[in-house]
Amino acid sequence: MDVADLPGVPDWLPDHLHDDGIEELYPPQAEAVEAGVTEGENLVASIPTASGKTLIAELAMLSSVARGGKALYIVPLRALASEKQADFEEFEQYGLDIGVSTGNYESEGGWLADKDIVVATSEKVDSLVRNDAPWIEDLTCVVTDEVHLVDDGERGPTLEVTLAKLRRLNPDLQTVALSATIGNAEALATWLDAGLVDSDWRPIDLQKGVHYGQALHLEDGSQQRLSVQNNEKQTAAIVRDTLEDDGSTLVFVNSRRNAEAAAGRLANTVRPHLTDEERGQLADIAEEIRDVSDTETSDDLADAVADGAAFHHAGLSRGHRELVEDAFRDRLVKVVCATPTLAAGVNTPSRRVVVRDWRRYDGSAGGMAPLSVLEVHQMMGRAGRPGLDPYGEAVLIASSHDEVDELFERYVWADPEPVRSKLAAEPALRTHILATVASGFARSREGLLEFLAQTLYASQTDDSGQLERVVDDVLTYLQRNDFLEIEGGELDATSLGHTVSRLYLDPMSAAEIVDGLRDWERGVSDSTSASGSPADTPAEPPADSGFTTASELAEDADGSDDTNADPDDISALGLYHLVSRTPDMYQLYLRSGDREEYEMELFEREDELLGPTPSEFEEGRFEDWLSALKTARLLEDWATEVDEATITERYGVGPGDIRGKVETAQWLLGAAESLASEVDLDAARAISEARIRVEHGVREELVDLAGVRGVGRKRARRLFQAGITDRAELRDADKSVVLAALRGRRKTAENVLENAGHRDPSMDGVEPAADVSVDLDDGADTDTDAEAAANEDQSSLGDF
């Protein structure tokens, strides 16, 4: 189909596409147009990655906007939100306004109501609906990217429920769903009352194959000699072979450690193939990588990149990831060893893809479980860069002759699994039922079931009994925890329930937080008489934690004599532990040796924790308690200015993991603050301080300084060392002292002074004061007892 013949699109679009070199639509795109995407028709497109999904989305959204509407593009990842934003911003020249909204980023200027196209994550859209964003009703078109993720047990239900809500709010809403090729695209189409484009067509050829011995067996039956030399591993042989053809390789492995190890080894394979010019450019990138963070991970990555190899996983910080992705796209880095981050994330195509590991550890499966066909196909789909490579090749690695056949059967010739809704599970329904009632989508049990009948789950099951049972369980749970009230068959969210829904918390997290804070107030009053060995039975009365009702709490709050609880005495560690044991926080893994270490830690600091420690005989709960303690200790270290390198080593995490934990803690502590005032608990001040400390990664005395824009944990500490202890002092500080404290960086000093509100921030003619020491390592380690103790523990335990 010629782009000039597109019905319903804005006048400028055909010319725009011509300028981009697009004359003809790809076959699946043409099918989509025939199915009416540009004329407001619903559509499900199940097609391979890189076969022109984005243009289908654009056709739908632009034509809808041209009719005076407003479009929403839903993505599963924040990183994809910014990628799509960049894509769509090229339409701004035609007067369209693009906006982005994710948890950590919101388009500046102009509220989203003024935007023509909004890009957001599914959770953010859900949150916007819960918070009654007025513009939601103006939507005329919603495009969902990667809908096959409704199959995901954790996040799929959100997508499913959110789509159902959007469609109920606006019955005329055009729904376009883009999916990877899946086994049951027609089921999605049925659910969404949509036309279907289901195609395997790709703009460039993809050859799948299996490597074994000295040969690469391809799916068309041909064989290609690909010999493994001396001690070389199969992967190295493939990388070398690709290199000889001047191509790059993406290698998928099943763990971070494997990714790092493989990158280190493959660096030796790549090194001899680099030109001097490449070596120079790579050295520069390696330096940039070292500048991102001063950790072992960072050093290892830099070493590999200097040789043209890299690894990529979620332990890397954002900066690392972007540097690696860009260098790979620029063809400087020749091989990237990655965990699935790269399969689902931003677009990083490659001549060849190697899927080295096809099994991955899965605790719930009791060992290594095979990857799904869909996941392997997603990885393989990264092979072949449109317009750059003549074809793509995706290779599985077999270690025996039998495995060759197995891999062909299992992955090369196999169809992807059908997508199945995971909605009828308690954790998912807990949060979505509360939200559905709180935002008025249902007012009764029957209304709820009627709403849920619009979901994919309902369209996929004949057994409505299962759903009803879980719904009833969840209603009971929500009622007992005072999130919902049921009166005369009418469902209503309590004030607490509304707050929880708006905060986007799992109700179970909210219950844990409220119980923990409440417990602390009770505990403080008790401990005036019984402060003693923390290892004895806890002083707190036994609270059946998950099921303490908030009405009980309310009684305690106004009824019993006000305790002399001093909420300021809640330790930061206690609060970090409280939010870390919540289902909204990913737990750190307990390694061997950790168990003893944190049992000891628990013994020493149990009285700082909020709520009773579970019995050691409750295996699961006790384990969770300990690993929450490990997470809490990490957060405490961060908020005590322990440096990144020490934290990554001490907890066996990467720099990106610290960021992730800190971000989550920040969010949950913010929510805890709201909850505390909601149920009239007096802890808000302590929570707020713990949150700000973890946000900036500073001790108490730096909280004020670190709040100044341009001042983080390091600069705040330096200023403090130089005798400037708060923002007010900074405002009137001796400029030479500030300059010295900031190590003579004039521009930085000027910025900082300006942001602090200094009358005359100019550093012209100012010389750094000679008597100001800026040696961080001596100064920052004014350890608290806890920190010092932790350090000792660390070394002594480590020696065993």
Partner DNA sequence: CTGTTTACGTTCTAGACAGCATGTC
Partner DNA sequence: CTAGAACGTAAACAG
Map the footprint of DNA across residues 745-764, applying CB under 7 A. Answer: none
Which range of residues in 191-199, 275-283, 658-666, 784-792 is near DNA by CB under 7 A?
A: 658-666
Residue 340, interface with DNA (CB under 7 A)?
yes
* Binding track, positions 487-526, relative to DNA; x by CB under 7 A: ---------------xxx----------------------
Interface residue with DNA among 108, 276, 536, 558 (CB under 7 A) is 108
- Is residue 427 within 8 Å of residue 507, measured between CB atoms? no
Q: Which residues contact 108 (CB under 8 A, 6 or more apart)?
A: none
Q: How far apart are CB 517 and DNA at their closest, in Å?
A: 16
Interface residue with DNA among 164, 262, 429, 676 (CB under 7 A) is 262
Residue 586, interface with DNA (CB under 7 A)?
yes
393: which DSSP letter?
E
Residue 366, interface with DNA (CB under 7 A)?
yes
Interaction residues for DNA, span 434-493 (CB under 7 A): none
Interstrand relation of 117-121 and 71-75 (parallel, antiparallel or unpaired): parallel
Residue 261, interface with DNA (CB under 7 A)?
yes
Interaction residues for DNA, span 302-321 (CB under 7 A): 313-315
Q: How far apart are CB 671 and DNA at their closest, in Å?
A: 6
Q: Which residues contact 707 (CB under 8 A, 6 or more apart)?
A: 692, 696, 727
Q: How far apart are CB 726 and DNA at their closest, in Å?
A: 15
Q: How far apart are CB 261 and DNA at their closest, in Å?
A: 4
Q: Which strands sit side by side in the sheet containing 206-212, from one edge to the other?
A: 223-225, 215-218, 206-212, 392-397, 352-355, 249-252, 335-338, 309-312
Helix (H) or strand (E) holding 579, with range, is helix 572-580
Closer residue to DNA, CB minimum distance, 162 or 248:
162
Residue 339, interface with DNA (CB under 7 A)?
yes
Which range of residues in 166-174, 248-256, 446-454, 606-614 is near DNA by CB under 7 A?
A: 248-256
Q: Does the CA dihedral 15-19-25-29 come out positive or negative?
A: negative
Cα–Cα distance list, 265 to 236, 256, 767 (Å): 8, 14, 49
- Is residue 328 within 8 Å of residue 281, measured between CB atoms? no
Residue 230, interface with DNA (CB under 7 A)?
no
Q: Mapping DSSP to helix (H, G, I), strand (E, B) and coil, where does residue 360 land? A: strand
Residue 155, interface with DNA (CB under 7 A)?
yes
Euclidean distance between CA atoms 61 and 1, whole angstroms: 19
Euclidean distance between CA atoms 271 and 409, whole angstroms: 36
What is the CB neighbour count within 10 angstroms for residue 537? 10
CA–centroid distance for 800 within its chain: 36
Interface residue with DNA among 2, 7, 224, 257 (CB under 7 A) is 257
Q: Which residues contact 81 (CB under 8 A, 6 or more apart)?
A: 75, 100, 102, 105, 119, 120, 121
Which range of residues in 18-26, 517-525, 566-574, 588-596 is near DNA by CB under 7 A?
A: 588-596
CA–centroid distance for 582 within its chain: 17
Q: Which of 534, 696, 685, 686 is nearest to 613 (CA)?
A: 534
* Binding track, positions 698-737, relative to DNA; x by CB under 7 A: --------xxxxxxxxxxx---------------------
Closer residue to DNA, CB minimum distance, 268 or 399:
399
Residue 664, interface with DNA (CB under 7 A)?
yes
CA–centroid distance for 62 within its chain: 29
Residue 105, interface with DNA (CB under 7 A)?
yes
**How many residues interact with DNA (rule CB under 7 A)?**
78
Residue 360, interface with DNA (CB under 7 A)?
yes
Q: How far apart are CB 129 and DNA at their closest, in Å?
A: 11
Residue 254, interface with DNA (CB under 7 A)?
yes
- Is residue 726 within 8 Å of residue 704, measured between CB atoms? yes
Interaction residues for DNA, span 57-96 (CB under 7 A): 76-79
Interaction residues for DNA, span 393-422 (CB under 7 A): 399
Euclidean distance between CA atoms 724 and 709, whole angstroms: 16
Q: Is 587 annotated as a binding residue?
A: no
Closer residue to DNA, CB minimum distance, 14 or 103:
103
Q: How far apart are CB 212 and DNA at their closest, in Å?
A: 13
Interface residue with DNA among 24, 86, 131, 409 (CB under 7 A) is 131
Residue 159, interface with DNA (CB under 7 A)?
no
CA–centroid distance for 58 within its chain: 26
Residue 423, interface with DNA (CB under 7 A)?
no
Closer residue to DNA, CB minimum distance, 141 or 579:
579
Q: How far apart are CB 341 and DNA at their closest, in Å?
A: 5
Euclidean distance between CA atoms 609 and 591, whole angstroms: 22
Annotated binding-site ranges for ATP: 29
Annotated binding-site ranges: 29
